[in-house]
Amino acid sequence: MSATAARPKGRRLPLLSTFMAAFVLAVSGGFLWFLHRSAAPAPEIPPTPGIAVLTGGPDRVEAGLALLEARPEARLIVSGVGPDAGLAELVRSAGGRGATMDPAALADRIVLGREATSTRGNAREIAAWARRAEIREITVITAGFHMPRALLELRRDLPEAVLHPRPVEPFVARPVPMIREYVKLIGAALNLSTLLERPGRRGPAR
């Protein structure tokens, strides 16, 4: 009886090992794809009526301002701005590009989104702005390693728009932040980001 009962249990072990091996290979392969996507250089982008910057680094704002300056008809949203940061401060934080710009001259074409506190919140904030402004084509600016998750969340909230990625440095972060970002990407792909999102801030649109 004991020998007979042991056989089904023994058969389960190879099946479990096969499943674990397939899981490890899938996760490893996905991480390699993620590294490849993150390190991809910025492609040539056609002029778009909308430019969206997800905050997190001054290079992102500088890249957005540079595109806005080159496209007189374009409009820009900077999503996830702190509640006390004004347009003049944001322009100054952009470094060399900000030093040549007059905030007052840009004010009518820039919206500062203050409610988002996460990538999921960024997507909702940008989607609401795009629909209000009737913008269907957007250049998306964020760090390279953050771009896959940003595009995933944006396409979920704004499926009707054409999104053009414009990654800026850092394209790849240190190992621990990269692993953390990959885990967040998997969570976003499983639509778990809504469970982890913090409440949004409330503040003026500019």
Look up the CATH number of the domain holding residue 168. Answer: 3.40.50.620
Output the pLDDT for position 148.
Answer: 93
Q: What confidence category does residue 103 fall into, taking pLDDT thresholds of 50, 70 and 90?
A: confident
Question: Rounded distance, CA 53 to CA 195, Å?
Answer: 24
Output the pLDDT for position 43.
Answer: 72
Q: Is residue 184 part of a domain?
A: yes
For residue 155, pLDDT over 90 is answered with yes
Mean of pLDDT over the chain: 80
Q: Is residue 109 part of a domain?
A: yes
Q: Is residue 201 part of a domain?
A: no
Output the pLDDT for position 27.
Answer: 55
Q: Is residue 168 part of a domain?
A: yes
Total domains present in the chain: 1
Domain that holds residue 190: 40-196
Q: Is residue 202 part of a domain?
A: no
Output the pLDDT for position 100.
Answer: 64
Mean pLDDT across the stretch 150-159? 96
Q: Bigger pLDDT: 82 or 198?
A: 82
Most confident option among 98-112, 156-170, 192-206: 156-170
Output the pLDDT for position 206.
Answer: 41
8-state DSSP, 145: G
Question: Is 79 in contact with 52 (CB distance < 8 Å)?
Answer: yes
Judge residue 80's burial from the number of C-beta atoms within 10 Å of its C-beta, 0-12 exposed, 13-18 middle, 19 or more buried. Answer: buried
Q: What confidence category does residue 205 fall into, taking pLDDT thresholds of 50, 70 and 90?
A: very low
Mean pLDDT across the stretch 150-174? 91
Give 56-70 as a DSSP string. Answer: SSHHHHHHHHHHHHH
